[in-house]
Amino acid sequence: MIKPLLHEDPQHIGAYRLVARLGSGGMGTVYLARSPGGRTVALKTVHAHIAADTTFRTRFRLETDAARVIGGQHGAQVIDADPLAETPWLATEYVLGPPLDDAVSLCGPLPEVTVRAVGAALCGALGQLHGSDVVHRDLKPSNIMITAYGPKVIDFGIARAIGDDRLTRVGAAAGTPAFMSPEQASDQEHTPAGDVFALAGVLVFAASGHGPFGSGQPADLLYRVRYAEPDLTGVPTALVPILTRCLAKAPSARPTTQELAAALHDGHGEFADHLPPALLSEIARRAAKVWQFRPERLPAASPEQPVTGSDPSGSGRGTGMSRRKVLSIAGLATAGAAVAGAGLWFRPSWFEAKDAKSPSAAGTSPAASPTARNTEGPWRVLWTTDPSKADDALPPLFVGKTIVVTTGGQLRGLDPADGRELWMYFPTLFDSRAATDGSRLYWLVGKTTAEHSLVSIDPATGQPARTLADQSDFKLPPSTGRTDLVHASAGSVYVAAGSDTPDVYDWHLHAVNASSGTVRWRVPLKKGKKGTGYSSGFAKAIGNRLILGETSYDLMLTAFDTRSGNVLWRTTLPEAASEVSMPVATGGQLANDGSHVYLGSRVLQAISLSTGAVVWEFGRDRLFGSSADGDDRYGPPAVRDGVVYAAEGSRGIVAVDAKRGELLWEVPVSKDNASTTVAPPVHGRTHLYYGDASGLGVIDLSTRKYVRSLETPIRNFALAADKRTLVGNGGDRVVEALRLDG
């Protein structure tokens, strides 16, 4: 995340002029910098008190050497370095793309074809290291960047020469428990076979969303790594034998990187062809952000007037793009970095911290925010939290008097008055979407990844109130199966549960009584015509109908009677899904007016709530701005007073008659204010608010003209019950609240 320089940051380090901050932590700072010739680099520095340690200087030099060994094809190419300087520094290229953990957070478990391509490419990276007698020793999802041309391995802070154990216990911790090899966990020699073990753990995470030995305290993890069998729940069947062999406790039983690469992938096709659309869009978004950066340096903050480093160039998540367009943008951005000095994205994971303040403890106040940017407009910024509070994949939830957001496997409760953190709930292992009926909060948790328990959580304290149902209620086998919390409404919680095998599709939808925990009804789900089975779903109760959307390729909508579970209708909508992407993030974003539901993707569609028939479609032959080659031409729509509003590609907003599907009016916007298709537009009293390249765009509903944009980090947002308070989360995982229409 590009941030302004602080007033105390130096002007230059070595021959490089500092332009912005990319990250900072206890070890040092990563800067955006430019060479005298205009080349843009990511420049790592070390804090002075650490640089004084000669052992750490040696480790820093070894990290630089290891980064040079892996080179630019498999890692961030080293441009320049001076480990002997008073302030040691290392300048590398940027890496265009998200880290693997963010990619899984964004897309969910990755398709098998993606996992195979990533794994084979990483075998090449490790093979290059091992061929130079170097082992990485800390391979994990956050140290792997996914680009349009292949994954890149970063962070060689504890890499070392094979057989050299002189620095094993000096400086940084020797590895990450969740992805250590058994020999590393036992303080034995870590050979190339140990990197293969870690790579298999990374691929389990990519394929299933969880590590092979769960999560928890380091001591528990180290014990499981050494003695427990890996949990491969959710891993595609064809990958299980391959990864099981890699996760053998004995190093000699594991395959080499060459053998593993051959078992994973045949090497054909462009790497981008194996990536899901949502991940390609994220790569494109980060590439586009390059051109929106504006350098600045923050003044010194006085005690009376704190200044925060809000992202001055935040942009919305890009709309869907073809693989060809992603590759062309990536090439353009790379060329721009070399010629014009425009910045790409670099993850400062080596410092294990984000830029700006660490998350505030419960009960402390959030950072005062609006002083570093222009916030004038038909809104009022109420508060902005510190970073790392919430992911932008899901919108906030409003539960009683608490705002609930999700980050990783954690729930956080925020005070709606000032955004301060009230509580944090972090279960032992299981991770899922939360759901609310407006007064209660529900989540799926488990003591192990093979357990699935539905719990209610007190929104005032964040403490589990009771367990409503578990895997026996969902009729899941003791060691396999998955659950998906899709909706909560009117005293019922709806959970999809089941398992996929090559021969059997066994998924059911359960309606659980929110008070007693009894399963009111259980009905089978039908496998779609395309794809591999149930992936993930969204649902919304509308009257006595529960509308469930699920996709593994096309979108399948099913209407269930909420009282009996009887199927009222089922329809497949190939125009409402983009391969494996959902048209909405949650059921709460599903637009409806009591007669129809409205969906946006390749076209805008109205579906009858009575019959499931498509009543009208809009936009098949229209131009879509920069997303013309992509799939998600329309974002999730909103409907109010007989009008459907939706972002149309990147070109602006359309208003369509809800009954006839005819265009009523449209507002094109400039490239600087390009619309995004992440969240539905929000209808205020006098203005329409929508996601755009700066953060939030505004259209005057009386004149039907674009007014202006608010530079804000929020990307996914929702409207509170008062219909005037908008709360969103996004860039740097910040949460922000706005009072609309003044």
Nearest Cα neighbor of 440 from 474, 491, 510 is 491
Distances (CA, A) of 322 to 280, 329, 370, 576: 8, 11, 37, 17
Element (H, E) at 573: strand 567-573
- In the sheet that 643-648 helps form, which strands lie side by side, from edge to edge? 638-640, 643-648, 652-657, 663-668
452 near 483, Cβ under 8 Å?
yes
Element (H, E) at 69: helix 54-74
482 near 234, Cβ under 8 Å?
yes
Q: Position 411: which residue type?
A: L
Q: Position 540: which residue type?
A: K
Report d(CA 574, CA 282) in Å as an integer.
23
Report d(CA 577, CA 319) in Å as an integer.
13
Report d(CA 120, CA 116) in Å as an integer.
6
Phi, psi of 252, rounded to the nearest 5 degrees: -70, -20
Report d(CA 80, CA 89) in Å as an integer.
9
Report d(CA 535, CA 550) in Å as an integer.
7
Beta-strand pair 614-618/78-82: unpaired
Residue 700 burial class via C-beta count within 10 angstroms: exposed 0-12, middle 13-18, buried 19 and up = middle
Q: CA 727, 600, 641 angle in degrees (round to 5)?
A: 70
Q: Taking the alpha carbons of 150, 151, 154, 158 in that order, is the dihedral positive or negative?
A: negative
- In the sheet that 28-34 helps form, which strands lie side by side, from edge to edge? 12-13, 16-24, 28-34, 40-46, 89-92, 78-82
Q: Which residue bears the tokens 């939808």?
A: 509
Secondary structure (3-state) at 587 = helix
**SS3 of the chain: helix, strand, coil, percent, to 5:** 25, 30, 45
Report d(CA 67, CA 77) in Å as an integer.
7
Among residues 65, 101, 138, 231, the one annotated as catalytic is: 138
Active site residue 311: no
Q: Check residue 732 and give left, alpha or beta (phi > 0: left; psi -120 to 50: alpha).
A: left
Nearest Cα neighbor of 80 from 53, 40, 50 is 40
Secondary structure (3-state) at 570 = strand
Q: Which residue bears the tokens 């488990």?
A: 446
Report d(CA 14, CA 87) in Å as an integer.
9
Alpha helices in 136-256 (DSSP H): 182-185, 192-208, 218-227, 240-246
First-last CA distance in the chain: 30
Q: Please, which contacts does 359-365 make with residues 24 or more away whose CB atoms are closer than 8 Å?
A: 359/386, 359/387, 359/388, 359/389, 359/421, 360/385, 360/386, 360/420, 360/421, 361/421, 362/420, 362/421, 362/422, 362/423, 362/424, 363/420, 363/421, 363/422, 364/420, 364/421, 365/418, 365/420
Distances (CA, A) of 144 to 156, 425, 542: 11, 28, 43
> From the CA atom positions of the chain, what is the Rg in Å?
25
Which residues are part of the catalytic machinery? 138
